[in-house]
Amino acid sequence: MYGNAYIEPDSELAAKMAASREEDPEKLAEFEARIARGEKIEPDDWMPAEYRRQLLRMIEQHAHSEIIGALPEGTWITRAPTLRRKLALIAKVQDEVGHGHLLYSAAETLGKSREAMINDLISGKSKYSNIFNYPAKTWADIAVIGFLVDAGAIVNQLANAKGSYGPYCRALERICYEESFHLKQGYDAFVALAVGTPVQREMLQDALNRWWFPPMMHFFGPPDTISVHTEKLMRWKVKMASNEEMRQDFIEQYVPKIWELGMTLPDPALRKDEATGVWEYTQPDWDEFFRVINGDGLCNKERLAVRRYAEENGRWVREALMNPIQKRMVPYA
């Protein structure tokens, strides 16, 4: 009745999960009924092993994406062209680190330690969003990332915030609030370039050309085939919207804002079918999608090397304050 769940070594947890693969039908029915009623699942609730595994994988990857996402934008921290942009960019990258923190905390409630998650990130075992494997070549990339990539993130995160797992929803609520600042500061920097000098407009157009397909591909992924598996994840409110729904939502909201400024996107087929309200677009290069996922993107190696370097560099600080009698527990929320 009173809980004090200490963290177990991950291999043991995995074994336990495998053992409970055969779910108790009564508990499963109760669990699904709770979700159907719109109630949230809390960390100490009974949950199917498959639900725990999928959520953990998803939240952990999301957390990794935030801290890896701090790197492409970090590229321009020391070079932001005004004091206000400098402050905004530091604050934005700081928020992304903060999002990583909030999401790791949510993932920890599912029974995996933050150390184990970071180890899986730097060993390459665990994935993160491939959008961050593209380089930020000029200052205009920062404007486009802040605007378009954060816009894509918002579409995704707003959907997930309505999911079934309490700690993830709570984290996303705060994250979405901060993302709206990211989007707005990105849009502001974007507009500054779009209404600026010819040199600025040219920079912006170049960045747009490079940054249009990455979010279209990596945020939303290939159109999903509705398998039994995705059907179950949607019933459990782990997956909240189909890839194509979210992609359409993204295009609908942001493409007009880009065109309004006289900027172009590198897809001649992009247009809205006014009769159906559906956007048509050229299918992104899905071969590239899988190449980048499998580690062959422009910056995969560097991103992981930098993360490893940061962890190694900070090790002596963490070790200096380690206390052998500490008993770590799975946080309640």
Smallest separation (angstroms) from another protein to the CB of 250: 26
Site for another protein, residues 143 to 182, rule: CB under 8 A: 170-171, 178
C-alpha span between 91 and 176 (Å, rounded): 15
Q: Does 188 bind another protein (CB under 8 A)?
A: no
Near another protein by CB under 8 A: residue from 53, 57, 101, 232:
101
Cβ–Cβ < 8 Å for 51, 23: no
Q: Which stretch binds another protein (CB under 8 A): 205-213, 223-231, 234-242, 325-333?
A: 325-333
Nearer to Fe ion, 66 or 249 (CB): 66
Site for another protein, residues 41 to 60, rule: CB under 8 A: 42, 44-46
Q: How many residues does the chain have?
A: 333
Residues 6+ apart with CB under 8 A from 285: 213, 217
Q: Does 228 bind another protein (CB under 8 A)?
A: no
Near another protein by CB under 8 A: residue from 11, 227, 276, 323:
323
C-alpha span between 66 and 96 (Å, rounded): 5
Q: Does 317 bind another protein (CB under 8 A)?
A: yes
Near another protein by CB under 8 A: residue from 83, 228, 269, 275:
83
Q: Does 16 bind another protein (CB under 8 A)?
A: no
Q: Measured between alpha carbons, how far is residue 325 from residues 6, 109, 186, 322 in Å?
A: 13, 21, 46, 9
Q: Does 75 bind another protein (CB under 8 A)?
A: yes
Site for another protein, residues 254 to 293, rule: CB under 8 A: none
Cβ–Cβ < 8 Å for 303, 110: no
For the record, the structure tokens of 234 come out as: 């949607």
Smallest separation (angstroms) from another protein to the CB of 7: 8
Smallest separation (angstroms) from another protein to the CB of 191: 10
Cβ–Cβ < 8 Å for 48, 31: yes
Strands (E), 262-330: 271-273, 278-280
- Name the binder of 81 from another protein, Fe ion, none, CB < 5-8 A by kind: another protein
161 alpha carbon, distance to own chain's centre:
12
What is the DSSP code string of 103-136?
HHHHHHTTT--HHHHHHHHHTT-S---GGGGS--
Near another protein by CB under 8 A: residue from 50, 53, 57, 114:
114
C-alpha span between 333 and 329 (Å, rounded): 11
Nearer to Fe ion, 15 or 97 (CB): 97
Site for another protein, residues 190 to 209, rule: CB under 8 A: 192-193, 196-197, 199-200
Q: Which stretch binds another protein (CB under 8 A): 148-156, 225-233, 277-285, 302-310?
A: 302-310
Q: Does 80 bind another protein (CB under 8 A)?
A: yes
- Name the binder of 118 from another protein, Fe ion, none, CB < 5-8 A by kind: another protein
C-alpha span between 1 and 110 (Å, rounded): 19
Given the rule CB under 5 A, which residues bind Fe ion?
66, 96, 99, 150, 179, 182
DSSP β-bridge partners for residue 271: 280
Strands (E), 146-221: none
Q: Which stretch binds another protein (CB under 8 A): 239-247, 253-261, 272-280, 320-328?
A: 320-328
- Name the binder of 99 from another protein, Fe ion, none, CB < 5-8 A by kind: Fe ion
Phi, psi of 271 (to 5 degrees): -160, 155
Give the number of other CB atoms < 10 A from CB of residue 78. Answer: 9
- Name the binder of 182 from Fe ion, another protein, none, CB < 5-8 A by kind: Fe ion
Near another protein by CB under 8 A: residue from 13, 59, 93, 153:
93
